[in-house]
Chains A and B, each alone.
Chain A
Amino acid sequence: MLKRLIYSREGVLSIIVLAMFFGVGVISPDFISLSNSVSIFNDTSILIMLALGQMLVILTRCIDLSVAANVAFTGMFVAMVNQYFPELPMALLIFLSLFIGALLGAINGLFVWLLKVPSIVITLGTMSIYRGATFLLSDGAWVNSHQMSESFIGLPRYEILSMPVLGWMAIVAIILFFWAMKFSVWGRNFYSAGGNPMAAFYSGVNVGKVQFYAFLVSGTLSGLCGYLWVSRFAVAYVDVANGFELQVIAACVIGGVSIVGGLGTVVGCVIGALFIGVVNNALPIIGVSPFWQMAISGLVIIIAVIANATSGKDKARIILRNPNANDEIRAN
């Protein structure tokens, strides 16, 4: 059992992330202090949540390129609502961000479900539209920290047990996902619909509807992250999170979510995101210019998919019943 765990993808990846983490700790002991660890996790929280949503989408053989644009639009929307109606309660604003995000996600999902249009095209389109709509909404203006209410900025920073609410939100998301993807039929349907759509249909799973749910969840989380992003950086503008969708996809791919669908775990996905988080935080500490960050994550994606491609090869069909031949196969 232990052996299996260590040899699993998640096992290997955890070891790499931990080795990196403690490796940097050798150079700079502060890096592995509890407070810095919490801060790294907190930094990575948004990436973790978006990666979890993206994982659902990729599991069902789709891709959601519109997440970052969704973050920008929803973030701008709630920031402006807060700017003009500062007295509105935070609960309502968070609900609003979830709702708007879900709506934008549902648009993607409906096209994929009802029209069976390739998700890459739809989300490529909505990515432009949502980003453009952010501009129309704000007229290109920024919402700065002094225009935001105190609670709007303060909520994600509020510390419970020395971890900010932002980090706790990620933890709640991880727990919910872990439960849903393992113990709910709803969650298992993502695996069957993506693993073998025909067989899923034979088993009574509505594949299109499952894809819709994936986009809905990805959108809802993007909406929440929209609020968290503008609140955390205390500024909302059109180019918020520009290009972040690629980091999100990278986190999934590094975490072993198979781009052809049906394979991927919550744990892997979280570790994939943490990998990026640790690298981003470690580079300045070990004196490497942050300009290396992008090339490193690119290289890691490539290495991760090559590792996937060479290890996960389908075993050949076995026809020969010749006992010797079979033994040879087992020996390999």
Chain B
Amino acid sequence: MNNAIFSLKKVSKVFPGVKALDGVDLHLYPGQVTALIGENGAGKSTLVKTMTGIYQPDGGEIIFNGKSVQFHSPHDSHALGITAIHQETVLFDDLAVAENIFLGNYPMTKHFSIDWPAMEARSQEILSSINAHMNPNQILRELSIGQKHMVGIARALSVDAKVVILDEPTAALSHHEIHELYELVNTLRDQGKAILFITHKFDEIFTLADRYTVFRDGSFVGEGFIKDTNEAQLVEMMVARSIEATYPKKDVEIGETLLEVSNLCHTTEFADISFSLKKGEILGVYGLVGSGRTEVMQALFGTTDHVTGSVKMNGKEVIIHSPKEAIDNGIVYVPEERQKQGIVLELPIYQNVSLPQMERLAKHGQIDQEGEMALARQYCERLQVKASCWDEKVMNLSGGNQQKVVIAKWLATNPKVIILDEPTKGIDIGSKAAVHEFMSELVDSGLSVIMVSSELPEILGMSDRILVMNEGLIVGELSRADATPEKVVSLATGGSVTC
């Protein structure tokens, strides 16, 4: 029991602009659940991809069963019995459940052909062993997210796994499903498998794990036994700073109600969303991945169809069906998926900044390049974007500077409300602080901010008021003074808090 079956020693992984893993250590033991804890951007997902051969490490050593191994492709790690349930679904929407479970590892008949009946039977077996009741012949597309997740788990169990990695497996699951997952993890532990459980929910850690390892900003911080620690200690290791000290929250005079949202509903994603936002206020919106928070923000920005309800700006009803209308009404959105939705990587910085207001800058449809450049210069300097020149392509900038360009783009439109969706996800610690500082400046200059985040310290540190969402509903509203990590987390995971 004392020998780790799987270890990482001083493993590093570098991406352009970011050191995702910086000499980290990790040890997994048979029959034990190790919890990997860390904030977003601590390098957890990169670690999983390195452990499963999707990424090749730039330095360090991977040791399996006492021998140093190298994974050139996912196939190599799979062959050793290392399986992972990834955070994003890596399944096939157009294939049947059974095939999704056995793809890459089909049961064969003696005649070199795929044994479909055996595949279905074994799928059924695995699925019922994890209490997932579905037809193995069903096409994956027809399943809900939670069901798809169960297929992912079944897939991981279809091979004779020695190491099972679960990357935030409960993020998109309902209570009932989470409970079943816990039982499953316990079963696997009893079977002697080494389990890595990645999460940032503390209740899960203390329910399930035997050991813990903490990462912060791509580095190893510490490890130990769960029974020797407590939540406060883990939080301190994760964050390594007290909340007030790092969040430059300024006291700003909060003005009149600016934005009023009432009864916003969507058929499948959220219901009965009502809240208001005052001038100069930072409204934090907390919820787990899949709680509907991003969907609500996108509805405000006009990118979600089939939304009912009313949105008022300064007491006047506004109709927003497209981003253009949102921008015209002074609502802008800094998306979570920065590279996909926020920015055109291949265009230069100045063209990205001017993109939403080309028409205003143009004369008779003709671009005023000087005007564009002036605008970019003004706002990028204000945000301290680091670049060699304003004509440089955004793809050459670091994640933090890319995010600053997105914010510069929106500030240049003179918005009234700026929605920040996971504003510091995946950016380095220095830029994070800069973004936070800037948020304070923004409200100081009279803007209102809605900040969506799943980073608890950020939410607690920056918000004047906190809305908590769970399963498409607003389940609580806390003032800055009332909010504690326990209350927020408990609300977000479906518990109730008496405030």
Residue numbers of A with Cβ under 8 A of B are 179, 182-185, 188, 191-192, 195-196, 198-205, 262-263, 314-322, 325, 328-329
Contact = CB atoms under 8 A, between A and B. Distances in A.
A240 to B, nearest CB: 36
Interface stretch (B266-274, B397-405, B435-443, B480-488): B266-274
A201 B472 contact: no
Interface stretch (B139-147, B205-213, B238-246, B406-414): B139-147
B74 A202 contact: yes
A196 B92 contact: yes
A318 B90 contact: no
B268 A192 contact: no
A199 to B, nearest CB: 4
B103 interface: yes
B72 to A, nearest CB: 11
B230 interface: no
Interface stretch (B290-298, B344-352, B456-464): B290-298
B106 interface: yes
Interface stretch (B93-101, B125-133, B422-430): B93-101
B360 interface: no
Contacts of A315: 141-142
Contacts of B193: none
A123 to B, nearest CB: 25
A179 B106 CA distance: 15
B268 A196 contact: no
B94 A263 contact: yes
A317 B94 contact: no
A316 B90 contact: no
B104 A319 contact: no
Q: Which of B93, B116, B145 has the most CB of A within 10 A?
A: B93
Contacts of A192: 92, 95, 103
Interface of B: 52, 54, 73-75, 78, 86, 89-95, 99, 103-104, 106, 108, 112-114, 116, 141-142, 144-145, 174, 267-271, 290-292, 295, 471-473
B93 A196 contact: yes
Given A184-B113, A318-B268, A204 B75 contact: yes
Given A192-B103, A329-B267, 8 more contacts: A182-B114, A188-B99, A316-B267, A316-B269, A317-B268, A319-B292, A325-B267, A328-B267
A314 B291 CA distance: 20
A319 B298 CA distance: 15
Lowest 3 A-B CB distances belong to which pairs? A204-B75, A183-B113, A203-B104
B94 A321 contact: no
Contacts of A182: 114, 116
A195 B91 CA distance: 9
A322 B89 CA distance: 24
B114 A320 contact: no
Contacts of A179: 113
A157 to B, nearest CB: 34
Given A204-B75, A314-B141, A320 B90 contact: no
A82 B132 CA distance: 63
B145 A318 contact: yes
B95 A183 contact: no
Nearest to B293: A319
Contacts of A321: 174, 471-472
A320 B92 contact: no
A205 to B, nearest CB: 7
Contacts of A320: 268-271, 292, 471-473
A130 to B, nearest CB: 33
Contacts of B113: 179, 183-184
Contacts of B473: 320, 322
B114 A319 contact: no
B495 to A, nearest CB: 15
Contacts of B292: 319-320
Contacts of B75: 204
Given A319-B291, A328-B267, A184 B112 contact: yes
B114 A205 contact: no
19 contacts: A182-B116, A185-B106, A185-B114, A191-B92, A192-B92, A192-B103, A200-B92, A202-B74, A203-B104, A314-B141, A316-B267, A318-B268, A319-B270, A319-B290, A319-B295, A319-B472, A320-B471, A322-B472, A325-B267
Contacts of B174: 321
Given A192-B92, A329-B267, A184 B114 contact: yes
Contact of B268 (A191, A199, A204, A319): A319
Contacts of B103: 188, 192, 200, 203, 205
Nearest to B54: A202
A135 to B, nearest CB: 40
A262 B268 CA distance: 27
A317 B75 CA distance: 31
B175 to A, nearest CB: 9
Nearest to A261: B94
B352 to A, nearest CB: 26
B145 A204 contact: no
Given A317-B269, A320-B292, A329-B267, A203 B106 contact: no
Given A205-B104, A318-B268, A320-B472, A199 B92 contact: yes
Nearest to A258: B94
A183 B106 CA distance: 10
Contacts of A196: 90-93
